[in-house]
Protein backbone atom coordinates (compact mmCIF):
# COMPACT_ATOMS: atom_id res chain seq x y z
CA UNK A 1 0.00 0.00 0.00
CA UNK A 2 1.82 3.07 -1.27
CA UNK A 3 1.11 6.70 -0.38
CA UNK A 4 -0.03 9.37 -2.75
CA UNK A 5 3.03 10.72 -4.65
CA UNK A 6 4.15 14.21 -3.71
CA UNK A 7 5.09 15.33 -7.20
CA UNK A 8 3.40 14.96 -10.50
CA UNK A 9 5.22 12.80 -13.00
CA UNK A 10 7.33 15.72 -14.19
CA UNK A 11 10.89 15.42 -13.04
CA UNK A 12 12.11 18.42 -11.07
CA UNK A 13 14.76 19.25 -13.62
CA UNK A 14 12.10 19.79 -16.25
CA UNK A 15 10.67 22.75 -14.37
CA UNK A 16 11.47 26.14 -15.86
CA UNK A 17 12.30 27.78 -12.54
CA UNK A 18 14.67 25.03 -11.53
CA UNK A 19 16.32 25.11 -14.96
CA UNK A 20 16.72 28.87 -14.76
CA UNK A 21 18.36 28.46 -11.38
CA UNK A 22 20.73 25.74 -12.57
CA UNK A 23 21.75 27.62 -15.69
CA UNK A 24 22.45 30.80 -13.74
CA UNK A 25 24.49 28.99 -11.11
CA UNK A 26 26.59 27.52 -13.87
CA UNK A 27 27.01 30.92 -15.54
CA UNK A 28 27.94 32.49 -12.23
CA UNK A 29 30.44 29.75 -11.47
CA UNK A 30 32.18 30.13 -14.81
CA UNK A 31 32.27 33.88 -14.38
CA UNK A 32 33.79 33.71 -10.91
CA UNK A 33 36.30 31.06 -11.94
CA UNK A 34 37.55 33.14 -14.83
CA UNK A 35 37.40 36.44 -12.95
CA UNK A 36 39.62 34.90 -10.31
CA UNK A 37 42.58 35.38 -12.64
CA UNK A 38 42.15 39.15 -12.35
CA UNK A 39 41.36 39.01 -8.62
CA UNK A 40 37.73 40.10 -8.53
CA UNK A 41 34.33 38.51 -8.01
CA UNK A 42 31.26 38.87 -10.17
CA UNK A 43 29.45 40.88 -7.51
CA UNK A 44 32.39 43.22 -7.09
CA UNK A 45 32.58 43.60 -10.85
CA UNK A 46 28.90 44.42 -11.19
CA UNK A 47 29.08 47.08 -8.50
CA UNK A 48 32.19 48.61 -10.00
CA UNK A 49 30.60 48.53 -13.43
CA UNK A 50 27.48 50.21 -12.08
CA UNK A 51 29.57 52.85 -10.38
CA UNK A 52 31.48 53.50 -13.57
CA UNK A 53 28.33 53.71 -15.62
CA UNK A 54 26.56 56.11 -13.28
CA UNK A 55 29.70 58.18 -13.11
CA UNK A 56 29.75 58.41 -16.91
CA UNK A 57 26.27 59.89 -16.73
CA UNK A 58 27.71 62.63 -14.55
CA UNK A 59 25.96 61.50 -11.38
CA UNK A 60 27.38 61.87 -7.89
CA UNK A 61 27.04 58.26 -6.80
CA UNK A 62 26.21 57.27 -3.22
CA UNK A 63 26.04 53.74 -1.89
CA UNK A 64 22.26 53.77 -1.84
CA UNK A 65 22.10 55.04 -5.41
CA UNK A 66 24.44 52.28 -6.53
CA UNK A 67 22.47 49.67 -4.61
CA UNK A 68 19.25 50.81 -6.27
CA UNK A 69 20.86 50.73 -9.68
CA UNK A 70 22.40 47.28 -9.22
CA UNK A 71 19.38 45.79 -7.45
CA UNK A 72 21.47 44.83 -4.45
CA UNK A 73 20.53 45.63 -0.88
CA UNK A 74 22.34 48.43 0.86
CA UNK A 75 23.83 46.20 3.60
CA UNK A 76 25.53 43.95 1.11
CA UNK A 77 26.57 46.89 -1.01
CA UNK A 78 28.13 48.53 2.05
CA UNK A 79 30.21 45.44 2.77
CA UNK A 80 31.40 44.86 -0.77
CA UNK A 81 32.37 48.51 -1.09
CA UNK A 82 34.38 48.24 2.11
CA UNK A 83 36.21 45.32 0.55
CA UNK A 84 36.78 47.25 -2.65
CA UNK A 85 38.04 50.25 -0.67
CA UNK A 86 40.46 47.99 1.21
CA UNK A 87 41.69 46.67 -2.12
CA UNK A 88 42.17 50.25 -3.31
CA UNK A 89 39.69 49.98 -6.16
CA UNK A 90 37.20 52.51 -4.83
CA UNK A 91 37.35 55.64 -2.68
CA UNK A 92 34.59 56.75 -0.37
CA UNK A 93 34.31 60.43 0.57
CA UNK A 94 31.66 62.00 2.72
CA UNK A 95 28.98 63.67 0.69
CA UNK A 96 28.97 67.47 0.59
CA UNK A 97 25.24 68.04 0.84
CA UNK A 98 24.25 64.96 2.79
CA UNK A 99 26.20 64.22 5.96
CA UNK A 100 24.95 60.63 6.08
CA UNK A 101 25.90 59.66 2.56
CA UNK A 102 29.18 58.39 1.13
CA UNK A 103 30.25 59.60 -2.25
CA UNK A 104 31.88 56.89 -4.36
CA UNK A 105 34.71 57.12 -6.85
CA UNK A 106 36.65 54.52 -8.83
CA UNK A 107 40.39 54.82 -8.39
CA UNK A 108 42.79 54.51 -11.29
CA UNK A 109 43.63 50.91 -10.35
CA UNK A 110 39.90 50.37 -10.09
CA UNK A 111 39.38 51.47 -13.66
CA UNK A 112 42.27 49.34 -14.86
CA UNK A 113 40.87 46.31 -13.05
CA UNK A 114 37.41 47.01 -14.40
CA UNK A 115 38.74 47.08 -17.94
CA UNK A 116 40.57 43.76 -17.48
CA UNK A 117 37.58 42.18 -15.79
CA UNK A 118 35.25 43.37 -18.51
CA UNK A 119 37.31 41.58 -21.13
CA UNK A 120 36.95 38.36 -19.14
CA UNK A 121 33.22 38.86 -18.69
CA UNK A 122 32.69 39.49 -22.40
CA UNK A 123 34.59 36.37 -23.27
CA UNK A 124 32.79 34.10 -20.80
CA UNK A 125 29.44 35.52 -21.86
CA UNK A 126 30.18 34.85 -25.51
CA UNK A 127 31.24 31.27 -24.80
CA UNK A 128 28.30 30.62 -22.52
CA UNK A 129 25.59 31.96 -24.79
CA UNK A 130 27.13 30.56 -27.93
CA UNK A 131 24.70 27.62 -28.05
CA UNK A 132 21.70 29.97 -28.25
CA UNK A 133 23.29 32.80 -30.17
CA UNK A 134 20.67 32.72 -32.90
CA UNK A 135 17.95 33.14 -30.28
CA UNK A 136 19.79 35.64 -28.12
CA UNK A 137 17.40 38.48 -28.82
CA UNK A 138 14.42 36.27 -28.07
CA UNK A 139 15.92 35.04 -24.80
CA UNK A 140 16.62 38.63 -23.88
CA UNK A 141 13.03 39.63 -24.49
CA UNK A 142 11.66 36.79 -22.41
CA UNK A 143 13.98 37.63 -19.52
CA UNK A 144 13.04 41.30 -19.77
CA UNK A 145 9.39 40.39 -19.49
CA UNK A 146 10.16 38.48 -16.29
CA UNK A 147 11.74 41.60 -14.83
CA UNK A 148 8.51 43.51 -15.67
Partner DNA sequence: AGCTTTTAGTAGTCGTGACTACCAAATGTA
Partner DNA sequence: TACATTTGGTAGTCACGACTACTAAAAGCT
Is the Cβ–Cβ distance between 94 and 103 less than 8 Å?
yes
Tell me the C-alpha to C-alpha distance, in Å, between residue 81 and each of 16, 72, 86, 118, 131. 34, 12, 8, 18, 35
Site string for DNA, 86-125 (x = CB under 7 A): ------x--x-xxxxxx-----------------------
Q: Which does 44 bind (CB under 5 to 8 A by kind): DNA, its own copies, none?
A: DNA
Burial 34-64 (b: 16+ CB within 10 A, else e): bbeebebbbbbbbbbbbbbebeeeeebbbbe
Q: Please, what is the minimum distance in Å from the beta carbon of residue 101 to DNA? A: 3
Nearest to 113, CA basis, from 2, 37, 16: 37
| Contacts of DNA in 28-57 (CB under 7 A) | 28-29, 32-33, 41-44
Nearer to DNA, 69 or 129 (CB): 69
Query: Is 102 in a helix, a strand, or coil?
Result: strand
Residue 83 makes contact with DNA by CB under 7 A? yes
| Interface contacts to its own copies, rule CB under 8 A | 3, 5-7, 11-12, 14-28, 31, 42, 46, 49-50, 52-53, 56, 71, 111, 114-115, 118, 121, 124-125, 128-129, 131-132, 135-136, 138-140, 142-148
Amino acid sequence: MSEKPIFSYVQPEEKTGYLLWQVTMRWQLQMNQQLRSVGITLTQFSLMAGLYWLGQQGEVVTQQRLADYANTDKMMTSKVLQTLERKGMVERFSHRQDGRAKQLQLTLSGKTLLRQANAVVEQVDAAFFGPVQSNAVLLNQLLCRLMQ
